[in-house]
Copies of this chain bind each other. A is one copy, B any other.
């Protein structure tokens, strides 16, 4: 089935950063003949166009139906759930439905409620910038980037089509269960976001604004870059993955306690603790 699948028309709901990046890649790599987009915000449509994505057609974002072969929901998680509820009942077995949200358990649950014959897969491309919206779109970051695919039900054709889409965009499909995805991403993405906001808050309170700015270097900028993200988007995915984020926060407190304990043991013990943590890093960040 998958081998015969030749999508003609891709619809992308949401012209934020992710939707724009995926649209740009779909266009530049010749995936599908038509790219149609939807966004209730005319500003978002304009910024996406300014970033280079000129759609073949603009959909009514409030319509119930969508006849595209591939429907990509690239909006914050709560709006993904709304769109699944609205579009789902009208979809058919010829269509692939996929989202891009960074919390997958709630999305996959919502997808299970739509007609059995619809091919639905949870998706999460692992690339982007901290600059909110289409203004921050850098489509080339998708080249070789992991793109998580979480199964919704026993539907090999759905996963085969999702793989075809992801590979056509130049990304690397990573098939993973929604719960495992959410547990890991809570720690590799959601927790770093929380930490960036917390570090920003602590640094800002360290002294008067000029003194703090004068004593801030490149290290702080890198460590807090994620705090420039769109707060509503971050709040949405943290809330959608709340249970795992809270467990990850507990893990972070434990790790901070471990560093503090080593600090009390003196520089030699501390260096060993830091080197062990960094060693773990070089293991997990190796190219694969």
**Interface contact B251-A253, CB-CB below 8 Å:** no
Q: Once bound together, how far apart are the Cα atoms of A141 and B277, in whole Å?
A: 27
**Interface contact B211-A180, CB-CB below 8 Å:** yes
A1 interface hit (Cβ, 8 Å)? no
Q: Once bound together, how far apart are the Cα atoms of A148 and B130, in whole Å?
A: 30
A224 nearest in chain B by CB position:
B281
Q: How far, in Å, is A49 (CB) from chain B's closest CB?
A: 25
Main secondary structure of the interface of A (DSSP, over half): helix
> Which B residues are in CB contact (< 8 Å) with A185?
215
Report which residue of A78, A141, A181, A259 has the largest number of chain B beta carbons within 10 angstroms of its beta carbon. A259
A194-B256 contact, Cβ under 8 Å, with A204-B280, A214-B146, A285-B216? yes
A33 interface hit (Cβ, 8 Å)? no
> Which B residues are in CB contact (< 8 Å) with A245?
263
> Which B residues are in CB contact (< 8 Å) with A202?
187, 191, 248, 251-252, 255
A212 interface hit (Cβ, 8 Å)? yes
> Which B residues are in CB contact (< 8 Å) with A214?
146, 148, 172, 174, 176, 288
A204-B281 contact, Cβ under 8 Å, with A214-B288, A215-B184, A259-B194? yes
A274-B231 contact, Cβ under 8 Å, with A184-B211, A215-B185, A280-B204? yes
> Which B residues are in CB contact (< 8 Å) with A284?
203-204, 209, 212-213, 216
Q: Once bound together, how far apart are the Cα atoms of A8 and B177, in whole Å?
A: 67
Q: Once bound together, how far apart are the Cα atoms of A267 and B230, in whole Å?
A: 13
Question: A121-174: which residues lie under 8 A (CB-CB) from chain B?
Answer: 126-130, 141, 145-146, 148, 172, 174
Q: Choose, from A51-59, A62-70, A81-89, A235-243, the stretch at the interface.
A: A235-243
**What are 6 sample pairs from A and B whose C-beta atoms fall under 8 A apart?**
A148-B215, A189-B216, A197-B259, A199-B255, A239-B270, A246-B263
